[in-house]
Structure 1
Amino acid sequence: MGSGGFASPDVAAKFNACPAHARRALMSIRDWIFELAGEIDGVGPITESLKWGEPAWRPKSGSGITIRADWKAKTPDQVMIFFDCKTDLIDRTRSLLSTDLMTEGNRAIILPLDRPLPEPAIKTALGWALTYHRDRKQDLKQQAT
């Protein structure tokens, strides 16, 4: 899918309702998700939809978890990327990428809009999310042997 070309008119409307600087950041995140899905073995096509009113992406292959990203009027100077709070992804992000990314609790990465997005760190975290289930299955197999 990539840049533009929204499969869902609801997702397109959500992006278009954001201020320009937030929309650019969200489009970068969206583009990186689709780019990574095409580059990482076993991820494949992405389903794009709205979940809880936020743009959401999930690998059709089941290799990873749902990733959501949004801008909120109550916090106009940032966008956030949300992961399932039952995963260890935010803890992993906090411990391994903490100098590049701010986090909130165990569910979100906070990205201030007054500076460039830290692309390598975001892509690393997105890659972890896109392969979360696949990686956990491999870890369990390795532990069993």
Structure 2
Amino acid sequence: MTPFLTMNVKAVFDAYPPEVRRKMLVLREAIFTVAASQGAGQLEETLKWGEPAYITAETGHGSTVRLAWKKSHPTQYAMYFICTTNLVEAFRTLFPHQFKYEGNRAIVFQETEDVDMDSLSICIAAALTYHRNKGRKRP
């Protein structure tokens, strides 16, 4: 079961356009589902840079996953990863045609597109277990 939104995170989601909000809440649910299925442990939902962010509560276990929508690109929303990891580089190698990428920090989605949730789940799992699995072949 996906936890209820905290008031401050809910306020951010509520500020998004309705269709983007709906799609981003699907991504949020996927993050919690993947965390449970991968044994990533309890997730902490917080705001980083004013955007919903998810990190494993167990220190040194996973890498932060952040969701964002920007007014400057109103038809896009994104899932961000820490840019000092090799996560996005690995995703680009594994899924060269499934996603659009922004540098070494994000997977960018168009509001009108269907997201390949099977592939995205692999990306989420890699992030949430990043430190635990560091040194192992990923994702």
Shorter chain as denominator, the TM-score bin is over 0.9
Unaligned runs of 5+ residues in structure 1 are 140-145
Compute the displacement of 1:27 (Å).
0.4
Unaligned runs of 5+ residues in structure 2 are none
Larger Rg: 1
Compute the displacement of 1:122 (Å).
1.2
Q: Which amino acid aligns with 1:33?
A: I
The residue number in structure 1 matching 2:15 is 17
TM-score (norm 1): 0.89
Secondary structure of residue in 2 paired with 1:57 = strand
Percent identity between matched residues is 34
- Structure 1 residues 100-115: aligned runs within 5 Å: 100-115=98-113
Q: Could you say which structure has the higher helix fraction? A: 1
TM-score (norm 2): 0.93
The residue number in structure 1 matching 2:130 is 132
CA distance in 1, matches of 2:15, 2:62: 28
Number of paired residues?
A: 136
The answer as to 2:2 corresponding to 1:2 is yes
Alpha-carbon contact 1:48-1:56 (below 8 Å) kept: yes
- Please tell me the root mean square deviation across aligned C-alpha atoms, in Å: 1.5
Alpha-carbon contact 1:71-1:80 (below 8 Å) kept: yes
Compute the displacement of 1:24 (Å).
1.0
CA distance in 1, matches of 2:126, 2:88: 10
List structure 1 runs of 4+ shifted beyond 3 angstroms.
none
